[in-house]
Amino acid sequence: MYQVLYRKWRPQTFSDVAGQPVVTTALKNELKAGRLAHAYLFTGSRGTGKTSCAKILAKAVNCLHPVDGDPCNECDNCRGIDAGTILDVVEIDAASNNGVDNIRDLREEVNFTPSVGKYRVYIIDEVHMLSIGAFNALLKTLEEPPEHVLFILATTEVHKLPATILSRCQRFDFGRIPAADIAARLHYVAEQERFSLTDEAALLIARLADGGLRDALSLLDQCLSRSREVTADVVADATGMAGRGHLFSLATAVREQNGNAALTLLGELYEGSKDMERLCAELVEFYRNLMILKSVKQAEDLITVSASEMEELRAFASTVSLEAVLYIMDVLQGTLDRLKGGVSRRVEMEMTLLRLCDPRLDSTPQGLLRRIEALEERGVAAPVATPQPTVAPAPVQTETAPLPEPPAPAAAEKVTTPCTLWPEVLAKIAQKSPPLYGVLADSTAMTNGEELLIVTDNEMFGPLVKSDGNKAVLMSTVQAVLGKPMRIKRGRPAKNELPDDNHDPLSAFLRRSAEVGVSIEMKG
């Protein structure tokens, strides 16, 4: 009978465990020194080797001929434990045996001496699923078990365990297995099973497995059902991925603001049975790689891709700004959350791509900022009217807010521009003072380098800011984000323009600037 790869190639010694050198070395040293704890806690994400190490430890303590801390896997005890014929090693699934009665039965069993081996070993998997009553029933036995009993608890959610349980165990944390280690193990399995596996395919499977070797072997099994020659295309087809080429095409359509191309490609992917949630997750990972490339010098240490894809990513990263990448990731993360809620997945992705391709469809402060950044990237400035002898400032009614101000700067002609960091100021205010954020949520801001003009028609602005606490929050946040203290004023939107431009604040601002002859400085 065929045995799936993750079962067939489960590690049999500590040396076979991939990606957990700290854990395996410590366990081997304890075995060699004969300094075993009475209870162990193995915690970490799924597929990282917790259960495998528990079984190896159970064999090692009962092995008749241990080899440097590892079980020999040849003696009667080792073979019997592997075959499940020795009752001294008991595996308990806490997800289905989580009641008080189950633990009471266990407490009665621990008093019996081992039948064959030296220890009775209890491996309790997913221990966080035990009920409160079951935990309480386990406490005394876990603290002072008989000398011939060894407990090994395994969990993926250690935060759900009571502190009383944690304090009675020796804890080992299993980290996510590095992609390079997973790929190396996959190549070893491929060599032993005599099928071909390309380096690109191995890295792609390792990336999809997200640090879990069991998931990686399961994906490899899935690929083998299609072909004995496993390539990146076979992996993409087996897992329903959009593929690297489609991701670059979608990202290009977004960069060029080509909604027609984006929706056409999305339709092709949907007709090809590509899962929209996975597609969105792949796009998040794609832009995450761009973010790393634009932020980290040694990006290769944080990105798991082939050399050829790395070059393509570098080339693409040079054509987009970090601000645009962060904005797109934020939108995609929100879409990913909604996709998990059972909405129409295709429609949700179509709306998201249209918003990304046409910033005018996004009226949030982040969307407004993205439009300004797009203008900066293109080197476009608002039209400048013919200079006039004397021109009034932009038509906003200003009044000085009752805030502490630094000394007024020397009189000089200043160029007023939109404050591109205003969304970041709002985000920080939302964390510090939700009431103040509620008043400023729909506001915009302009600056000339020395003064910050907050434009809002919310009548609660004045009374709320008179509070000393809100004054301090606003002043300190502006200084922290903009990098220097600013003289703050309050402005009101021009009433005669609200009916036409309330839905599009950027267009209104640009039009007002053109009418009064105020130029807008753009980068590049």
CATH code of 231's domain: 1.10.8.60
Same domain, 13 and 117: yes
Q: Within a domain: residue 254?
A: yes
Per-residue model confidence as pLDDT tens digits over 442-472: 888 888 877 888 888 887 777 777 766 788 8
d(CA 232, CA 69): 39
Q: Token pair for residue 28?
A: 């081997």
Q: Within a domain: residue 410?
A: no
Name 124's bridge partners. Answer: 92, 153
Same domain, 200 and 256: no
Domain ends where: 118, 153, 174? 174
Same domain, 469 and 509: yes
Domain ends where: 174, 197, 218? 174
Q: Within a domain: residue 392?
A: no
Domain ends where: 121, 145, 174? 174
Whether the pLDDT of residue 143 is over 90: the answer is no
Same domain, 17 and 83: yes
CATH code of 74's domain: 3.40.50.300
CATH code of 249's domain: 1.20.272.10
Whether the pLDDT of residue 381 is over 60: the answer is no
d(CA 216, CA 18): 12
Same domain, 195 and 289: no
Q: Within a domain: residue 20?
A: yes
Q: Of all helices (H) and strands (E), which one includes residue 100?
A: helix 100-109
CATH code of 419's domain: 3.30.300.180
Same domain, 221 and 250: no
Site of tokens 């040396």 = 15
Q: What is the pLDDT of residue 390?
A: 47
Per-residue model confidence as pLDDT tens digits over 253-275: 999 889 999 999 999 888 887 88
Site of tokens 């700067």 = 409
Q: Token pair for residue 313?
A: 């990513």
Mean pLDDT of 218-239: 86
Look at residue 306 and give its three-state secondary structure.
coil
| Average pLDDT over the chain, rounded to an integer | 81
Neighbours of 373 (CB within 10 A): 19
Same domain, 167 and 184: no
Same domain, 234 and 306: no
d(CA 326, CA 250): 16
Same domain, 130 and 11: yes
Q: Within a domain: residue 368?
A: no
Q: Which domain covers residue 275, as residue numbers?
A: 244-357
d(CA 59, CA 89): 9
CA dist 303 to 288, 306, 329, Å? 9, 9, 16
Give the HSE-up count for residue 412: Cα atoms under 13 Å, Cβ half-sphere: 9
- Write the single-letter amino acid at 74: E
Q: Within a domain: residue 163?
A: yes
Same domain, 35 and 142: yes
Q: What is the pLDDT of residue 145?
A: 85
Q: Within a domain: residue 363?
A: no
Q: Within a domain: residue 380?
A: no
Domain count for the chain? 4
Same domain, 206 and 260: no
Per-residue model confidence as pLDDT tens digits over 35-64: 888 899 999 888 888 999 999 999 999 998
Mean pLDDT of 152-180: 90
DSSP conformational letter for 300: G
Give CA 414 to chain center in angstroms.
43
Same domain, 56 and 192: no
